[in-house]
A and B are shown apart, each in its own frame.
Chain A
Amino acid sequence: MKKIKALAATGNLSTGFREDTLVRAVQEGAHFIGCDAGTTDSGPYYLGSGNPRGPRDGTKRNLHIMIREALRAGIPVIVGSAGHAGGNPHLEWTLEIVRELARENAWHFKLAAIDSEIPKEKLAEAFLEGRIAPLCPAPELQDTSIRQATRFVAMMGIEPIQSALNAGAQVVIAGRCSDVAIYAALPVLEGIPKHIAFHAGKILECGSAAVAQRFYPDCMAAELDQDAFTVEPPNPAFRCTPQSVAAHTLYENADPYHLVESGGTVDTTDAQYEAISDRAVRVTGARFIPAQKYTVKIEGAALAGYRSIVVAGIRDPLVLRQLDPFLTSLRSVVERKIEDSLKLTPRDYTLQFRVYGSNGSLGQSEPCPQVEGHEVGLIIDVVASSQSLAADILPIVWHTGLHHPIPEQQGLISNFAFPFSPPGTDMGPVYRFCANHVWQLDDPCEPFRMTIENL
């Protein structure tokens, strides 16, 4: 009976792994090396701006070891969600590193790039055809807002990766991709049942995160057959326990038992986790429930404005005991000044006082927003339609606030302790996630364009 050994290099391509662990795991007979390179966890900036999260040198080091070992062993490398957000610039950034490595090391191999950025016009058409449906919760999306947004990607399932493998690719660099699909694509192609391949993919996708105690980021491996998969960390310093593996199915999911993927849902309600040594766990019992209609998830980012901020401390107990009314009256004074000097109404910009020591971390969800300490940290946060406008508004706010009066003090006071000169900085563009939707497809590969390069 055919067995497939899947190797996850690490949880995120930028974090890294121990070289000796990966070398040993490949020598032990891995059939492919997978690695996830992206997430939406860091917010919408990367998708919107097109900037990768990096670091470039770390990513290059990791790809170097992965590709070198894979070429030596004659097995493929599969990287998903290239460059953090999986858009065209992110994909191109990653491909350029791979090409550079091939040149520097005189490697020759077949490279597949799978593009997941969706032209806005195409997505707007799909929307008008009724093929785009919201998940819950989701931002409001219309064909007009699609056209006004900055960038969209679709999250591929296993099929585009399988096409690349069928085309003989030795290195697959995929745009936005389900983490699970990176690890399920090849096993399913080789005849492993989907319920096993997808459940194993969920355990592998964070690298060594499913071990009992993760001392540092490293590789993770699983052996898949027709009935089960066995997960065992290739680093002898790590061990998996039934609890550590089962607990990992909870991580970052809204529902611990149902993992929705393109093409179906993995139901782990009846999964069994059995220790077969003090380091390895055999997993059985998940089910794969095929979806009625094949869908891919859409992610989008839209420009929300440009941000400038100032950082200040407030220590005077007389200001602190009336901080809320102080900031409310400051706001009304600065709104008037901004209107007078810049001809902008409050609708034209967003002014936020972020008060650390009160509700800086939780905002409106803070159950105890009153100030209890002897000082607070204040971030004055301005978002406007251009960077120069935000930068023009900001000094009006901080300079007015610096000398804003309180009844107990008679004479000009200075309320803010600025640690820096200048007191603040421009933060650049601000994006927002503008879609949490699925796109119904007739062909799972339709939105994804594959390019093969012979290096």
Chain B
Amino acid sequence: MRELWQFTKLIRSKNAGPFELTFDIMFKDEDCFSKVMTGGKLSAEVIAQLYNVNLKQVKFFVIQSLLTVKISIPRPVFSGDVADTDVYGGQFHSPLVRLPVDAG
């Protein structure tokens, strides 16, 4: 089973303000992009499940011209709040790196 990082040149997360997290996934080339996107293993549903958020709260953008997928979700804990673990939100992409995408 191949993993998402094998198809991408960048997988990152970052705060989009203190209340939201945003993920940028940039693919290596058109082939990698279309294999993953047609495989259906990277979707708003997968993100909702992986990060335990309501599907309606997942913003999922496919930017064909940049071979990029951008996803935004509400932060589980607001940035810097007493129970926060990652003030910049810079490590929240980690569960996506080895996401099985099974795109032969």
**A residues apposed to B, CB below 8 Å:** 40-45, 135-139, 243, 246-247, 250-257, 304-305, 350, 352, 354, 359-367, 383, 430-433, 436
Contacts and interface: CB of A to CB of B under 8 A. Distances in A.
A348 to B, nearest CB: 14
B79 A255 contact: no
Contacts of B61: 255-257
Given A254-B17, A362-B86, A40 B79 contact: yes
Interface of B: 14-20, 22, 24, 26, 50-52, 59, 61, 63, 65-66, 68, 70, 72, 74-88, 91-92, 94-95
A352 B85 CA distance: 11
B82 A383 contact: yes
Contacts of A255: 59, 61, 72
Contacts of B59: 254-255
A433 B80 contact: yes
Identify whether the interface residues of A are mostly helix, strand, loop, or mixed. loop
A394 B22 CA distance: 35
Nearest to A42: B87
A255 B63 CA distance: 11
A138 B19 contact: yes
B68 A44 contact: no
Contact of A365 (B16, B76, B82): B76
Contacts of B15: 40-41, 252
A372 to B, nearest CB: 14
Contacts of A383: 82
B82 to A, nearest CB: 5
Give me the 9 closest cross-chain CB pairs, A-B, nearest first.
A43-B80, A254-B72, A254-B16, A363-B85, A43-B87, A137-B74, A44-B80, A433-B18, A361-B91
Contacts of A362: 85-86, 91-92, 94-95
Nearest to A257: B61
B80 A139 contact: no
A436 B18 contact: yes
Contact of A436 (B19, B51, B65, B83): B19
A361 B85 contact: yes
Nearest to B57: A137
14 contacts: A41-B79, A42-B80, A44-B79, A246-B65, A251-B24, A254-B72, A255-B61, A256-B63, A352-B82, A352-B83, A359-B85, A362-B85, A363-B85, A366-B95
B70 A139 contact: no
Contact of A250 (B17, B70, B74): B70
A4 to B, nearest CB: 28
A383 B83 CA distance: 10
A432 B18 CA distance: 10
Given A252-B22, A304-B82, A383-B82, A363 B77 contact: yes
A202 to B, nearest CB: 13
B79 A256 contact: no
B92 A40 contact: no
Contacts of A45: 80
A322 B15 CA distance: 34
A254 B20 contact: yes
A121 B91 CA distance: 38
Contacts of B26: 247
B52 A252 contact: no
Nearest to A46: B80
A41 B90 CA distance: 10
A142 B87 CA distance: 25
Contact of A40 (B17, B74, B82): B17
B19 A137 contact: yes
B82 A363 contact: no
B82 A350 contact: yes
A246 to B, nearest CB: 6
B68 A247 contact: yes
A431 B84 CA distance: 12
Contacts of A305: 82
Given A42-B87, A362-B95, A363-B85, 4 more contacts: A137-B75, A252-B14, A362-B91, A436-B18
Contacts of B24: 250-251
